[in-house]
Every structure is written in structure tokens, then in C-alpha cells.
Structure 1
Amino acid sequence: KRRFLPNLQNRKFWVESENRWVSMRITNAALRTIDKNGIDAVLAGMRADGQKI
């Protein structure tokens, strides 16, 4: 049997609005979403879902 695991990456993002670095363990697909929408929009969506950042 073969397991399909997500492509997880450890990344640090500079958030200009908060003037700090944010460390995240995210998938490659999430990296593409951040490139497309921006880190501020992604963080706002995560906070709306109730996730801790």
C-alpha cells in the first residue's frame, strides 16, 4: 500500500500590517494561495475560521 502525504513546508512570512514574522507549517497548495491572495487575506480568513495564529 502507498500513502499519499501532503507536501508540508515550514515557512516564515513577514506581515507588514502587524509588523512581525509569522511562522506557519503549510502545504505547497497553501503557498500558492498566499502568493495569489496575499498573506493578510489568508490570515484574516484563518482568524475568521477560529484558527490560532
Structure 2
Amino acid sequence: MSSVCQVTGRKPGYGKRVSHSHKRTSRRWDPNIQSRRYWLPSEGRWIRLRVSAKGIKTIDKRGIEAVVAQLRAEGVRV
């Protein structure tokens, strides 16, 4: 499953791991993705979102209804 936040769109970052001998190998920084259930009062049902820690803070600040409305405007099926 892809590690992309449904709210913020955060994706893994790519770069190089540098050893003591300065040999470089590829690595990636994964975002802190959590699978969370949220209650939608307007529809009377639970929805499940894959969100990053930053996405959870965004939902706490703006509210789940506003975030779901924005996701639907972008064409995401929720």
C-alpha cells in the first residue's frame, strides 16, 4: 500500500545514506502514516482515512466535515 497522506498529500522523501567511509546508498524517509477512523455526523457513519501526523493535526484544526468536503471536491472517493 502506498505511503501517501490522503489529506496533505505527503509522500516519501528520497536521498542518500552516507556511511563512515562516505559510500552512498539510496534510502527513503517515509511519512508517519496512520490509519484512522473518523465519525461523519452529517452521514451518520464512520470513514477510514490514511493520514500523516500532520494530516491528523489538520483534521483537528479544521474539522472532519471541512476536510471531507475538500477531498470530495478534489475527486477523492470517501
TM-score, scaled relative to structure 1: 0.93
Q: Identify unmatched segments of 5+ residues in structure 1.
A: none
Q: Identify unmatched segments of 5+ residues in structure 2.
A: 1-16, 18-26
Shift of 1:52: 1.0
SS of 2:50 mapped into structure 1: strand
Flag the structure with larger Rg.
2
Structure with the bigger percentage of helix: 1
Runs of 4+ in 1 over 3 A off after TM superposition: none
Tell me the number of residue pairs that the alignment of Structure 1 and Structure 2 aligns. 53
Structure with the bigger percentage of strand: 2
TM-score, scaled relative to structure 2: 0.65
Percent identity between matched residues is 45
Determine the structure 2 residue equivalent to 1:25: 50
Question: Cα RMSD (Å) of the superposition?
Answer: 0.8
Q: CA separation in 1, counterparts of 2:51 and 2:62?
A: 15
